[in-house]
Protein backbone atom coordinates (compact mmCIF):
# COMPACT_ATOMS: atom_id res chain seq x y z
CA UNK A 1 0.00 0.00 0.00
CA UNK A 2 1.39 3.38 -1.04
CA UNK A 3 1.77 6.48 1.11
CA UNK A 4 -1.38 8.21 -0.20
CA UNK A 5 -3.52 5.14 0.41
CA UNK A 6 -2.11 4.69 3.91
CA UNK A 7 -2.62 8.38 4.67
CA UNK A 8 -6.27 8.35 3.56
CA UNK A 9 -6.91 5.24 5.64
CA UNK A 10 -5.29 6.96 8.61
CA UNK A 11 -7.52 10.02 8.20
CA UNK A 12 -10.64 7.87 7.82
CA UNK A 13 -9.79 5.90 10.96
CA UNK A 14 -9.27 9.12 12.93
CA UNK A 15 -12.61 10.50 11.76
CA UNK A 16 -14.36 7.26 12.72
CA UNK A 17 -12.86 7.49 16.21
CA UNK A 18 -13.90 11.15 16.51
CA UNK A 19 -17.47 10.38 15.46
CA UNK A 20 -17.73 7.62 18.06
CA UNK A 21 -16.29 9.92 20.73
CA UNK A 22 -18.96 12.53 20.06
CA UNK A 23 -21.74 9.95 19.87
CA UNK A 24 -20.70 8.85 23.36
CA UNK A 25 -20.92 12.46 24.57
CA UNK A 26 -24.41 12.95 23.10
CA UNK A 27 -26.01 9.71 24.30
CA UNK A 28 -28.59 10.03 27.10
CA UNK A 29 -28.11 8.10 30.32
CA UNK A 30 -30.67 5.88 32.03
CA UNK A 31 -31.30 2.21 32.80
CA UNK A 32 -34.88 2.25 31.52
CA UNK A 33 -34.16 3.94 28.20
CA UNK A 34 -34.84 2.18 24.90
CA UNK A 35 -32.01 2.62 22.39
CA UNK A 36 -32.31 2.03 18.63
CA UNK A 37 -29.27 1.81 16.36
CA UNK A 38 -30.12 2.16 12.66
CA UNK A 39 -27.63 0.11 10.67
CA UNK A 40 -26.24 -1.74 13.69
CA UNK A 41 -23.91 -3.97 11.61
CA UNK A 42 -22.47 -6.71 13.87
CA UNK A 43 -23.55 -4.90 17.02
CA UNK A 44 -20.12 -4.05 18.44
CA UNK A 45 -20.60 -0.27 18.45
CA UNK A 46 -24.24 -0.69 19.46
CA UNK A 47 -23.31 -2.62 22.60
CA UNK A 48 -20.60 -0.12 23.50
CA UNK A 49 -23.09 2.73 23.20
CA UNK A 50 -25.73 0.85 25.21
CA UNK A 51 -23.21 0.43 28.03
CA UNK A 52 -22.67 4.18 28.08
CA UNK A 53 -26.44 4.70 28.28
CA UNK A 54 -26.63 1.96 30.97
CA UNK A 55 -29.54 0.20 29.26
CA UNK A 56 -30.36 -3.37 28.30
CA UNK A 57 -33.23 -2.27 26.03
CA UNK A 58 -31.25 -2.42 22.80
CA UNK A 59 -32.83 -2.48 19.33
CA UNK A 60 -31.16 -2.54 15.94
CA UNK A 61 -32.01 -2.38 12.26
CA UNK A 62 -29.72 -4.35 9.95
CA UNK A 63 -30.78 -5.70 6.56
CA UNK A 64 -27.63 -7.76 5.94
CA UNK A 65 -28.56 -11.11 7.49
CA UNK A 66 -24.98 -12.19 8.19
CA UNK A 67 -24.30 -9.04 10.22
CA UNK A 68 -27.71 -9.07 11.87
CA UNK A 69 -27.09 -12.58 13.23
CA UNK A 70 -23.79 -11.46 14.76
CA UNK A 71 -25.59 -8.58 16.46
CA UNK A 72 -28.27 -10.92 17.81
CA UNK A 73 -25.56 -13.06 19.39
CA UNK A 74 -24.59 -9.99 21.42
CA UNK A 75 -28.10 -9.66 22.86
CA UNK A 76 -29.48 -7.00 20.53
CA UNK A 77 -33.07 -7.30 19.31
CA UNK A 78 -32.40 -6.93 15.60
CA UNK A 79 -35.00 -6.29 12.92
CA UNK A 80 -34.11 -7.39 9.38
CA UNK A 81 -36.02 -4.35 8.19
CA UNK A 82 -35.60 -1.84 5.40
CA UNK A 83 -35.16 1.70 6.71
CA UNK A 84 -36.80 2.92 3.50
CA UNK A 85 -40.11 1.38 4.61
CA UNK A 86 -42.35 1.64 7.68
CA UNK A 87 -40.52 0.50 10.80
CA UNK A 88 -41.92 -2.40 12.89
CA UNK A 89 -41.98 -0.31 16.07
CA UNK A 90 -44.77 1.37 17.98
CA UNK A 91 -45.38 5.09 18.21
CA UNK A 92 -43.33 6.87 20.90
CA UNK A 93 -41.49 3.67 21.84
CA UNK A 94 -37.82 4.74 21.64
CA UNK A 95 -35.75 7.17 23.72
CA UNK A 96 -32.67 7.48 21.50
CA UNK A 97 -31.81 6.75 17.86
CA UNK A 98 -28.36 6.67 16.30
CA UNK A 99 -27.66 6.57 12.57
CA UNK A 100 -23.95 6.91 11.85
CA UNK A 101 -22.97 6.74 8.17
CA UNK A 102 -26.39 5.35 7.26
CA UNK A 103 -28.62 8.00 5.70
CA UNK A 104 -26.44 8.38 2.60
CA UNK A 105 -27.28 4.76 1.70
CA UNK A 106 -31.06 5.27 1.83
CA UNK A 107 -33.43 5.79 -1.08
CA UNK A 108 -36.32 7.26 0.91
CA UNK A 109 -35.07 9.91 3.32
CA UNK A 110 -38.58 11.19 3.94
CA UNK A 111 -39.51 7.80 5.34
CA UNK A 112 -36.43 7.74 7.58
CA UNK A 113 -37.10 11.13 9.14
CA UNK A 114 -40.86 10.66 9.46
CA UNK A 115 -40.43 7.23 11.07
CA UNK A 116 -37.78 8.60 13.42
CA UNK A 117 -40.23 11.30 14.47
CA UNK A 118 -42.99 8.71 14.93
CA UNK A 119 -41.13 6.15 17.07
CA UNK A 120 -39.24 8.61 19.28
CA UNK A 121 -40.77 9.58 22.58
CA UNK A 122 -41.31 13.26 23.29
CA UNK A 123 -37.92 14.64 24.29
CA UNK A 124 -36.16 11.69 22.64
CA UNK A 125 -32.89 12.27 20.79
CA UNK A 126 -31.61 11.33 17.35
CA UNK A 127 -27.89 11.41 16.54
CA UNK A 128 -26.88 11.40 12.87
CA UNK A 129 -23.51 11.54 11.16
CA UNK A 130 -22.99 11.45 7.41
CA UNK A 131 -20.50 12.51 4.76
CA UNK A 132 -20.86 16.16 3.77
CA UNK A 133 -21.48 16.89 0.10
CA UNK A 134 -20.26 20.47 0.62
CA UNK A 135 -16.87 19.39 2.00
CA UNK A 136 -13.97 21.11 0.26
CA UNK A 137 -12.58 17.89 -1.21
CA UNK A 138 -15.95 17.36 -2.93
CA UNK A 139 -16.01 20.95 -4.16
CA UNK A 140 -12.54 20.46 -5.65
CA UNK A 141 -13.66 17.24 -7.35
CA UNK A 142 -16.54 19.12 -8.98
CA UNK A 143 -14.25 21.96 -10.08
CA UNK A 144 -12.10 19.34 -11.81
CA UNK A 145 -15.19 17.93 -13.51
CA UNK A 146 -15.37 14.74 -11.43
CA UNK A 147 -18.03 13.11 -9.30
CA UNK A 148 -17.89 14.19 -5.64
CA UNK A 149 -15.73 11.77 -3.67
CA UNK A 150 -18.59 11.00 -1.30
CA UNK A 151 -21.01 10.23 -4.11
CA UNK A 152 -23.67 9.71 -5.18
CA UNK A 153 -21.97 6.61 -6.58
CA UNK A 154 -23.16 5.78 -10.07
CA UNK A 155 -22.01 2.17 -10.34
CA UNK A 156 -21.66 -0.81 -8.01
CA UNK A 157 -19.13 -2.33 -10.40
CA UNK A 158 -16.83 0.54 -11.37
CA UNK A 159 -15.44 3.50 -9.35
CA UNK A 160 -16.82 6.28 -11.56
CA UNK A 161 -14.92 9.46 -10.76
CA UNK A 162 -11.76 9.60 -8.68
CA UNK A 163 -13.03 8.21 -5.40
CA UNK A 164 -9.74 7.60 -3.51
CA UNK A 165 -10.99 4.74 -1.37
CA UNK A 166 -12.19 2.63 -4.29
CA UNK A 167 -8.85 0.89 -4.90
CA UNK A 168 -8.10 -0.22 -1.37
CA UNK A 169 -11.34 -0.45 0.63
CA UNK A 170 -12.82 -3.92 0.29
CA UNK A 171 -16.61 -3.62 0.17
CA UNK A 172 -17.55 -7.29 0.36
CA UNK A 173 -20.98 -6.82 1.96
CA UNK A 174 -24.09 -6.35 -0.22
CA UNK A 175 -24.90 -2.82 0.94
CA UNK A 176 -26.38 -0.08 -1.20
CA UNK A 177 -23.95 2.58 -2.45
CA UNK A 178 -24.13 6.24 -1.45
CA UNK A 179 -27.39 7.45 -2.97
CA UNK A 180 -28.56 10.50 -1.02
CA UNK A 181 -25.47 12.47 -0.07
CA UNK A 182 -26.39 15.86 1.41
CA UNK A 183 -24.82 19.07 2.58
CA UNK A 184 -24.66 19.99 6.25
CA UNK A 185 -27.33 22.69 5.74
CA UNK A 186 -29.65 20.22 4.00
CA UNK A 187 -29.38 17.73 6.87
CA UNK A 188 -30.35 20.45 9.33
CA UNK A 189 -33.22 21.59 7.11
CA UNK A 190 -34.59 18.05 6.79
CA UNK A 191 -34.56 17.57 10.55
CA UNK A 192 -36.32 20.89 11.12
CA UNK A 193 -38.90 20.13 8.44
CA UNK A 194 -39.75 16.94 10.33
CA UNK A 195 -40.24 18.92 13.55
CA UNK A 196 -36.94 18.14 15.25
CA UNK A 197 -35.17 20.71 17.38
CA UNK A 198 -31.45 20.98 16.64
CA UNK A 199 -29.53 20.64 19.90
CA UNK A 200 -25.96 20.33 18.66
CA UNK A 201 -24.13 20.34 15.34
CA UNK A 202 -20.49 19.64 14.63
CA UNK A 203 -18.21 19.25 11.64
CA UNK A 204 -15.71 16.40 11.79
CA UNK A 205 -12.59 16.02 9.66
CA UNK A 206 -11.24 18.35 7.00
CA UNK A 207 -9.71 16.31 4.18
CA UNK A 208 -6.82 16.22 3.37
CA UNK A 209 -5.67 17.83 6.63
CA UNK A 210 -4.78 15.84 9.72
CA UNK A 211 -5.53 16.45 13.40
CA UNK A 212 -5.19 18.89 15.17
CA UNK A 213 -5.18 21.14 12.07
CA UNK A 214 -8.34 19.49 10.73
CA UNK A 215 -10.02 19.91 14.13
CA UNK A 216 -9.35 23.65 14.01
CA UNK A 217 -10.75 24.17 10.51
CA UNK A 218 -13.78 21.90 11.00
CA UNK A 219 -14.52 23.92 14.13
CA UNK A 220 -14.50 27.33 12.47
CA UNK A 221 -16.05 26.16 9.16
CA UNK A 222 -18.24 23.18 10.02
CA UNK A 223 -20.39 23.64 6.90
CA UNK A 224 -17.42 22.51 4.78
CA UNK A 225 -16.08 19.78 7.09
CA UNK A 226 -15.73 16.25 5.74
CA UNK A 227 -18.54 14.88 7.92
CA UNK A 228 -21.71 16.43 9.31
CA UNK A 229 -22.87 15.41 12.78
CA UNK A 230 -26.13 16.54 14.36
CA UNK A 231 -28.01 15.76 17.54
CA UNK A 232 -31.69 16.70 17.47
CA UNK A 233 -34.64 16.27 19.81
CA UNK A 234 -38.30 15.49 19.27
CA atoms of 190 and 48, how far apart (whole Å): 28
Return the half-sphere exposure (C-beta side, CA atoms, 13 A cut-off) of residue 19.
24
CA atoms of 220 and 229, how far apart (whole Å): 15
- Express each pLDDT in 61-82 by its tens digit: 999 999 999 999 999 999 998 9
In the structure, what pLDDT confidence band is assigned to residue 224 with cuts at 50, 70 and 90?
very high
Q: Which residues contact 161 (CB under 8 A, 6 or more apart)?
A: 141, 146, 147, 148, 149, 154
Q: What percent of the chain has pLDDT over 90?
A: 72
Specify the number of domains making up the chain. 1
- Express each pLDDT in 87-123 by its tens digit: 999 999 999 999 999 999 999 999 999 999 999 999 9
Do residues 135 and 207 lie in contact, with contact meaning Cβ atoms separated by under 8 Å?
A: yes
Buried b / exposed e along 19-44 (16+ C-beta atoms within 10 A): beebbeebbbeeeebbbbbbbbbbbe
pTM higher than 0.75, yes or no?
Answer: yes
With CA atoms as reference, report the closest residue to 38 among 81, 73, 70.
81
Domain extent at residue 48: 3-233
- CATH classification at residue 30: 3.40.50.150
- Express each pLDDT in 28-66 by its tens digit: 999 999 999 999 999 999 999 999 999 999 999 999 999
Average pLDDT over residues 204-223: 90
Q: What percent of the chain has pLDDT over 70?
A: 92
Residue 160's pLDDT is 73
In the structure, what pLDDT confidence band is assigned to residue 175 with cuts at 50, 70 and 90?
low
- Express each pLDDT in 117-140 by its tens digit: 999 999 999 999 999 999 999 999
Amino acid sequence: MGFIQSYIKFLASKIEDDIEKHVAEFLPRGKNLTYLDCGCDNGSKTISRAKIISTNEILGFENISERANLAREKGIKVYNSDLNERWPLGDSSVDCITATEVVEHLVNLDNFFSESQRVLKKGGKIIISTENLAAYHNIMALILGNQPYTGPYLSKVYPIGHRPSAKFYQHTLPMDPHINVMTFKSLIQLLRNYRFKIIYKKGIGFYPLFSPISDFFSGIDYLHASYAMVMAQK
